[in-house]
Amino acid sequence: MSSDFEGYEQDFAVLTAEITSKIARVPRLPPDEKKQMVANVEKQLEEAKELLEQMDLEVREIPPQSRGMYNNRMRSYKQEMGKLETDFKRSRIAYSDEVRNELLGDDGNSSENQRAHLLDNTERLERSSRRLEAGYQIAVETEQIGQEMLENLSHDREKIQRARERLRETDSNLGKSSRILTGMLRR
């Protein structure tokens, strides 16, 4: 099972290296080759996602005691995949800016800076949104745990009250039997 995972890891490493080199070459290519390269990189990114899915399935089949190491690897691969997608988006934006600039005859320096600034802000917003969602999820889970604890405490309270009632009944029965025995002894 881990041999399949390691095979997927090797394929993923080779594929991400190819994608990285192609992304770096996109801005320097002539327009015709850029279109082909962008399409090729998109296809390879899809292949890399599929490899990640296969690796994730393999990790799920690994026994729980040795799964932690593989989960850590998967996290780093997913982060690497996210970085590749971000780099690709940036190179595509640079590519689309070049095409727009060719059509409009604009040098595009200021719009490129604005676009980079917008991308950074968008990434910050996405990170903040993910943090907010995670915080909301934690709050919901905490609320559910609190409700379960309150229900358990309510059940425990009922049990304690019933036990107290039984204890009172037993005490009164003991008192009656004590009086009866005392009466019998006097006779």
Domain segments of the chain as ranges = 3-103
- Interior/surface letters 27-42, b for 16+ CB within 10 angstroms, e for the rest: eeeeeeebeebbeebe
Report pLDDT for 109: 59
Encode pLDDT of 128-147 as tens digits. Answer: 888 888 888 888 888 898 89
**pLDDT value of residue 131:** 86
User: What pTM does this model have?
Assistant: 0.49
Q: Which two tokens stand for residue 51?
A: 């490899």
- Residue 158 is predicted with a pLDDT of 94
Residue 95's pLDDT is what? 56
Residues of the chain short of pLDDT 70, as ranges, are 1-2, 94-110
| CATH pick for 3-103 out of 2.30.30.90, 3.30.2350.10, 1.20.58.400, 3.30.230.70 | 1.20.58.400
CB 54 within 8 A of CB 74: no
- Assess contact for 48 and 19: CB atoms under 8 A: yes
Task: For residues 52 and 63, give the distance between their C-alpha atoms in angstroms, rounded to a whole number.
Answer: 19
